[in-house]
Structure 1
Amino acid sequence: ITMGHIGGPPAELGHHVGAALVGTFLGILLSYGIVGPMSVYLEHISREEAKFYECIKVSMMASFSGAPPQLAVEFGRKILFHSVRPSWTEVEERVKQK
């Protein structure tokens, strides 16, 4: 846009340069300030959700391979992140409740 008006009056050229700078600034602000952090947040959420499915997969594969149920559950429990991983006593209490 600015290069198309390079031969025009300086006031008009200044207006177009200013508009280009504002557009560039807004693009950088939106990409680094909003879109980037949002994509990182969504990536973390999807990884956390995938860990639960991986836990189920590992437990089932261990069980299908002939491992005892307690050991199969332990294999699956070890896959989870530390922040959501239940302790062994919590797992035992839940199993005994059923």
Structure 2
Amino acid sequence: MGSIDQPPEVLGKLIGGALVGTFLGVFLAYGIVGPFAGKVKSVTEEDGHFYSLIREVLVANLHNHAAAICIEVGRQNTPSHIRPGFSELEDALKSVKQDAA
């Protein structure tokens, strides 16, 4: 508003600069910063699920539950999109036991 007494040529440059700055800020906010923040949030939530799973298995172990129960607690706390099926987990455990023997 301090330049309101300037001629139209100067005002046009000032108004154009203000509009470009506004549009650039909106574009950066919605096009780059917003999606980046969403991705960071999803990664930290996924890490949080992982640490929660570890905590639940350790607590089950500290309560002196059987190893199979501790493993099932871990399977149940695994996020649904990567959770193995019960039979799939049993097959993996059997193969680990055979490899160890």
After TM superposition, the score normalised by the length of structure 2 is 0.86
Match of 2:33 in 1: 35
In 2, Cα distance between the equivalents of 1:41 and 1:91? 30
**Cα deviation digits, residues 60-82 of structure 1 (max 9, x gap):** 10110121111111111111111
**In the TM superposition, what is the alpha-carbon distance from 1:51 to its structure 2 partner?**
1.2
Tell me, in whole angstroms, the C-alpha distance in 2 between the residues paired with 1:57 and 1:4: 61
Query: Aligned AA for 1:91?
Result: L
Match for residue 51 of structure 2?
A: 53
Q: TM-score, normalised by structure 1?
A: 0.88
What CA distance in whole angstroms lies between the structure 2 residues aligned with 1:82 and 1:91?
A: 14
CA shift for structure 1 position 86: 0.9
Q: 1:13-60 CA distances to partner (integer Å, 9 max, x unpaired)?
A: 111011101100110111011110111112111211221221111011
* RMSD between aligned residues: 1.3
Number of residues paired by the alignment?
96
Unaligned 5+ runs, structure 2:
97-101
87-96 or 58-67, larger mean C-alpha shift: 87-96
Q: 1:91 maps to which residue?
A: 89
Structure 1 unmatched runs, 5+: none
% identity of equivalent residues? 38
DSSP-derived class of the 1:74 partner: helix
Q: Which runs of 4+ in 1 moved over 6 A?
A: none
> Which residue of 77, 80, 95 corresponds with 2:78?
80
Distance in 1 separating the partners of 2:26 and 2:78: 37
Counterpart of 1:70, as a letter, is A
- 2:2 aligns with 4
